[in-house]
Structure 1
């Protein structure tokens, strides 16, 4: 089941939405965070069809997200240019996912800073493809991944990969970015002394363009640890298009076990 298929299966129920049988996007005992976040975004869009473009979000991965979901959507505040929407996702009556969405209409700019360009990465056309994981149930098999740097990378605690969905139908550019933006493991994984479970706790993201575009579905993703100790890591997440122009940036707290 593709992410586009998941979005299509969201149905209205009472004052909210439901989604049953959201299989194929597992990551351990929970749903992959990009998939659950995209589902919440799609529900917000369906609840309030006239929302302006998405500008940012604060995502809380509260608990394990299963295959059967109940989703509530509420308007926190709707101003002249900015609307803030809250989505809550429930499994078996327990809240497992919460998002605060920030939508904003474009205005005449009073300040302008161009997005940054990435340097020192392999072009996607020449990058080596990475083999899929052995686990057929892992969501990462639904993506194509290529190395953006030589093995080991150039900086400690950083992972860079070219990534695209194998099946992209049914996704708009914003939905595609939300779906793929959390796909990499944390950069701190490269500094771990031994293998162990890793779990994202939250994800705060900012869109740098309300109409992001790329070539052939390829996005360059980076996760980089700012600090890791005491079983936690603070991570910066960045995303560039195929031309090396940054389109999204975020921060994430990660729990490191083992």
Structure 2
């Protein structure tokens, strides 16, 4: 019932909702970012069932999200091909997450340009060694299986790359799976930190390169790479590939680096 604890309380009408048994989805004092993003996406998708496929999302993690919420959503604009929807999570009268979703119908292509192949292919997930087994924040220990996808350990190039999959994917559509999983890695800047300290995602934006993503046995290759870190913040590029090396998501994130 792990996934159900995030989605069952959400109705097409939105409004007030109570989520139970969220301890296994927590990251410190707030709900893990991928989990809260999934709630916001499901709120929009269940309210407007005739939308075209999801193409992109922009999520702002405004404040800690808890179990007692109010779910808001609205269609900002719906044209012939593209619909743009806003959804929000409110706790105790304050907005804790704001998301903007872009849905678009497929058209006859006037440009075709596949993503570049992945450099330094790490090999198959089935052959990779487990990492973080029984360690890390609650949401990782209880919901994800991670395997090594790079030789680097400790300080060095500010890139974190792991094979990742959900322990329970039952009833989850592929797009929701990527939203839930897309924010699972720590920032690449972690490898450049001069001393240990807390980190916090501030936002996350992504483009889906495949509106019906598929992989083998639930494995996705997840990478966070710091493009620039200074002044207590890191600009991160987030990417996901399937088990055959096809990129399915391209994203950016701003992360606060404390300590």
Q: TM-score, normalised by structure 2?
A: 0.94
- Seen in structure 2, the aligned counterparts of structure 1 residues 246 and 134 have a Cα distance that, compared at 3 Å, is closer
Q: Which residue of structure 2 aligns with residue 193 of structure 1?
A: 194
The separation in 1 between residues aligned to 2:56 and 2:244, in whole angstroms, is 22
Give the whole-Å Cα distance in 2 for the aligned partners of 1:71 and 1:42: 10
**Distance of 2:170 and 2:16 partners within structure 1:** 22
1:157-189: per-residue Cα shift (whole Å, max 9, x none)? 000000000011121000000000000000000
72-81 vs 114-123, greater mean Cα deviation:
114-123
Give the equivalent residue in structure 2 for 1:18: 17
Is 2:179 aligned against 1:145? no
Distance in 2, matches of 1:229 and 1:119, equals 26
Q: Which SS does the other structure have where 1:64 is aligned?
A: coil
**Secondary structure of 2:111's partner?**
coil
Q: CA deviation at 1:19?
A: 3.6
Deviation at 1:92, TM superposition (A): 1.0
Tell me the residue number matched to 1:177.
178
In 2, distance between residues paired with 1:12 and 1:53? 18
Which string of whole-angstrom CA distances, capped at 9 and with x for unpartnered residues, describes residues 56-96 of structure 1? 01100000011222110100000000000000110111100
> Residues 252, 131 of structure 1: CA spacing in aligned structure 2 closer, same or farther, 3 A cutoff?
closer
SS in 2 for 1:125: helix
Aligned to 1:131: 132
Distance, in Å, in 2 between the alignment partners of 1:96 and 1:22 is: 19
Tell me what 1:227 maps to: 228
State the partner residue of 2:213. 212
Q: Distance in 1 between matches of 2:196 and 2:130?
A: 24
Give CA deviations for 1:82-138 in whole Å, capped at 9, x if unaligned: 000000110111100000100000001111111332232132121101133446x61
Please report how far the alpha carbon of residue 22 of structure 1 lies from its aligned counterpart in structure 2 after TM superposition.
5.5
- How far does the alpha carbon of each residue in 1:26-81 deviate from its partner, in whole angstroms, 9 at most, with x for none? 00111100000011111101110001000001100000011222110100000000
Equivalent pair of 2:5/2:19 in contact (CA under 8 Å): no
> 1 CA distance for matches of 2:99 and 2:113?
27
In 1, Cα distance between equivalents of 2:174 and 2:156? 30
**Secondary structure, aligned partner of 2:127:** coil
Partner of 1:45: 45
Tell me the SS of whatever aligns to 1:65.
Answer: coil
Matched residues in 2 for 1:240 and 1:154: separation? Answer: 24
Distance in 1 (alpha carbons) for counterparts of 2:117 and 2:15: 40
The alignment partner of 1:11 has SS state of coil
Query: Is the Cα contact below 8 Å between 1:32 and 1:139 reproduced in 2?
Result: yes
SS in 2 for 1:178: helix
- Give the distance between the partners of 2:21 and 2:57, measured in 1 at CA: 23
Gap regions ≥5 residues in structure 1: none
Structure 1 residues 22 and 252: CA distance shift in structure 2, 3 A: farther
TM-score when normalising by structure 1 = 0.94
Deviating above 4 A after TM superposition, structure 1's stretches of 4 or more consecutive aligned residues are none
Q: Which residue of 2 aligns with 1:168?
A: 169
Gaps of 5+ in 2: none
Count of aligned residue pairs for this structure pair = 256
